[in-house]
Structure 1
Amino acid sequence: MAFPLFATCLLSLSCLTPAQPASTLQLTSHDSANRIGSVVLTCEPTGGTHPKRERACAVLEGVNGDFSRITARHQACTLIYAPVDVSAVGTWRGRPASYRATYANRCEADRDSDGVFAF
């Protein structure tokens, strides 16, 4: 019985294809000093180039990928105005995902996104 399953696997090559992540997002930031940051975040399984990918995926999983529902963490930020534009483009659990926002500074971008834009 195991042989037909093995043969089917080899013929279709589906057993050799790595699982695709359920969610893949390209996150970018651009600040008033003209610094640009960009990372890839994959979730389910967690991966990509985001430095805090486990935390970022946990935050997004908690709001089902809806950036507007992220609860800001309690953290004080300076009142220095140095605007940061952020964006997220990709897919969340197979659905197209897109988000854009402007924060007063990097600290606020990090705090208000609960670390998703901390890169």
Structure 2
Amino acid sequence: MLSLSCLAPAQPPASTLQLTTHDTANRIGSVVLTCDPAGGTHPKHDKACAVLSDVDGDFSRITARHQACTLIYAPVEATAIGTWHGKPVSFQTTYANRCEADRNSDGVFAF
């Protein structure tokens, strides 16, 4: 007789994202962010994973934090490619400058 009581509950698949920024000075930044558990090369992976957990991996739903930024226009293209709990993620946007990339992504693109 097989007992199912000893089986662990199904865990959502780990999330892995390649995050990249590219600015007009041709500076390119790239990190790997893993969540569940938090890790990778992102300098603040715990915070970035918490932000993404709050929006279920939907970058368009991230709420900008309160932070003043200069009005200097120096565009930064930001991309995120990978998976969030098994769902494919493909996000791309352009922020007015690095400060806005940090603020509007609540630190996810702060690297």
Structures share fold, TM-score greater than 0.5: yes
Give ranges in structure 1 of 5+ residues lacking alignment: 1-20
Match of 2:86 among 91, 94, 106: 94
Deviation of the 1:22 alpha carbon: 1.1
Find out whether 1:112 has 2:110 as its counterpart: no
Question: CA RMSD of the aligned region, Å?
Answer: 1.2
**Which whole-Å CA distance do the structure 2 matches of 1:92 and 1:62 have between them?**
12
Percent identity between the two aligned chains: 79
* 4+ long deviations beyond 3 Å: none
1:79 is matched with which residue? 71
- AA aligned to 2:60 is S
- AA aligned to 1:36 is I
- More helix as a share of residues: 1
Q: Give the aligned length.
A: 100
- AA aligned to 2:16 is T
Give ranges in structure 2 of 5+ residues lacking alignment: 1-12
Bigger CA radius of gyration: 1
Question: Normalising by the residue count of structure 1, what TM-score does the alignment of the two structures yield?
Answer: 0.82
1:46 is matched with which residue? 38
Question: Normalising by the residue count of structure 2, what TM-score does the alignment of the two structures yield?
Answer: 0.88
**Which whole-Å CA distance do the structure 2 matches of 1:98 and 1:60 have between them?**
14
Find out whether 1:56 has 2:48 as its counterpart: yes
Match of 2:14 among 22, 34, 52: 22
